[in-house]
Chains A and B, each alone.
Chain A
């Protein structure tokens, strides 16, 4: 099962290593990870997407809490949240017709074309995971040269994260 965990940590060197080592030591593969400073520069937020069963995940959450540099851990299971990812996708252009099709598709997905060259375009798209994978499927039909995707950025809606 897919889980999103948000971890607030002290913004210090070595903290990311502590957290990734914790996952590695338990044989967990991190599906995606995004790290950034928060509104308070002394605190960073790590949003981690992992796949695994409940009991192992419960252990991981507890282990994260046990780390001295971890301030707070939120598992987004059972809470209402908003998640966004951003992808840059370089798509082949075989001919003018396919270029026009891509431009139309980009409009449908509310994505953006941010670069055009002779034989390819770079599309910027943001949204939740299902929107991004839907667009990716379409893009693959034209031939995808390269992609680069961020990890998820997640916040819970309103105060729903506190209820649980």
Chain B
């Protein structure tokens, strides 16, 4: 058999894994890998900043349910993807990252562009590997994909020293993986499932609380069937937006800090909470000791460490959401639960999501509602992190899972735009819109070059309020309106401290996003009035290629409802001024 270099083995292994697209940037210690790519079938996309490569791989993975892949060089290349790995790790996104490394003979000698990549990425990956022998490479790649995509998915990094990339050996790609110390458990314990079903059958006020695990295991149909059969209302986390149809009366919408009134009310009034693939994140539970005080908790999760981590669980079921729910459907009784549904409906009507729909100011929520309407909730929406993210989660009515992509756990600004590009690579026929804040967008907007050069048609809607809006909201509500370093328009000549922003008197905002877009040959549109929003969005959707809309929205708009940090879900502030 003809021998191959480590670099060739890597490329062929990726092709064997049916990798459609790889994002990254070359560098000294990865040159043999890039040389092996020359003339190969691998679809490699050259990015502008490695952080974006990791978010593109992430966006691809979230939208497709397949692992995203990125390749970077040693040292700074590897450290630049740490944020992307951490984001993917928090949100259980399957990813395989390959990094170049200095030669094995000089590891530890502070060589040029050397960093302890394994040490640095250990806490932010599901697992990582340093390959010291070319003979281990093919098996390691196979294991990396296996670990990334099974059990609770997550990012896996493979660090490959340059000498290993150059060394040769025979290439045999293993058919299957056997890791004795890694055996994820998919089947829930039947005894526990029966106990859970009994508890559900006896309950009067049950609530489903569903998270990313439902998306990962494609358990949407099972949740729908079970909830309809037993008339159990369903609330979703940020990452599960779209996993449950929002036009069904059982849908409560998102819960938590910026969740709906009815979702939080239902959680606090429930006698049983059935958590499926959700991890009782602090943004969902509020103050833990006051969380769902009267509820018994059933928790279905494939990750045992998620169980009883923050909230004590009465019936834990370790297993895959889909598999467990399938078992459960037959055991749960058909029930009307009319009183409970009626109560929930009342809460919905009492305080639906609202903003000043009838005034003629440009409210950011209006923009999202219009996007939702014009795309019929069928577009992939990605977000950055902050107010626009919450408004998108509240007002975008995603038709199904994997249409709303957002960095939930880590809350990574700079995620959304590259994630949108990654998603578009996987979904060339879907509309992909990056909703961004003006702050977040500036963290990775350099990737527009990638979109333009590769004819990747990603639309950008910037909800520009000239602030780090979420920070400003907290400063307004909890720090006496002391807007400390949250204004993005502030110049040297401004007063040192200012809490009275005003579009007319504030300095000119930079960058001019319209001209900036034009410099890439991309259509830029500025919208400053509510009446122009719809037309601009239509123009954006009709236009082939990238478009950037700079929406000058109300500066001091706040996200409501809101559960203040550290407060219980009962202490929700429903709207401004009470």
Contacts and interface: CB of A to CB of B under 8 A. Distances in A.
Contact of A62 (B126, B147, B179, B304): B304
Contact of B182 (A13, A14, A68): A68
A68 B305 contact: no
A10 B179 CA distance: 10
Interface in B181-224: 181-182
B445 interface: no
A66 B303 contact: yes
Given A17-B119, A18-B122, A68-B126, A58 B181 contact: no
Contacts of A65: 304
A14 B87 CA distance: 23
A69 B127 CA distance: 9
A68 B304 contact: no
Interface residues of B, number: 18
A25 interface: yes
A70 B183 CA distance: 11
B181 A14 contact: no
A71 interface: yes
Nearest to B304: A62
Interface in A55-72: 55, 58-59, 62-63, 65-66, 68-71
A14 B118 contact: yes
B118 A58 contact: no
A30 interface: no
Interface string B118-161: 11001100110010000000000000000100000000000000
B304 A66 contact: yes
Interface residues of A, number: 19
Contacts of B529: none
Nearest to A69: B181
A18 B127 CA distance: 10
Contacts of B126: 68
B213 to A, nearest CB: 15
Contacts of A59: 305, 308-309
Contacts of B307: 62
A116 interface: no
Contacts of B119: 17
A59 B303 CA distance: 12
B305 A63 contact: yes
Given A55-B308, A58-B308, A59-B305, A68 B122 contact: no
A21 B305 contact: no
Nearest to B309: A59
A63 B152 CA distance: 13
A58 B119 CA distance: 25
B308 A68 contact: no
B180 interface: yes
Contacts of B130: 13-14
A55 B179 CA distance: 29
A62 B127 CA distance: 16
Given A66-B304, A68-B126, A68-B179, 18 more contacts: A9-B181, A14-B118, A17-B119, A21-B122, A21-B123, A25-B123, A55-B308, A59-B305, A59-B308, A59-B309, A62-B304, A63-B305, A65-B304, A66-B303, A66-B305, A68-B127, A68-B181, A69-B181
Interface of A: 9-10, 13-14, 17-18, 21, 25, 55, 58-59, 62-63, 65-66, 68-71
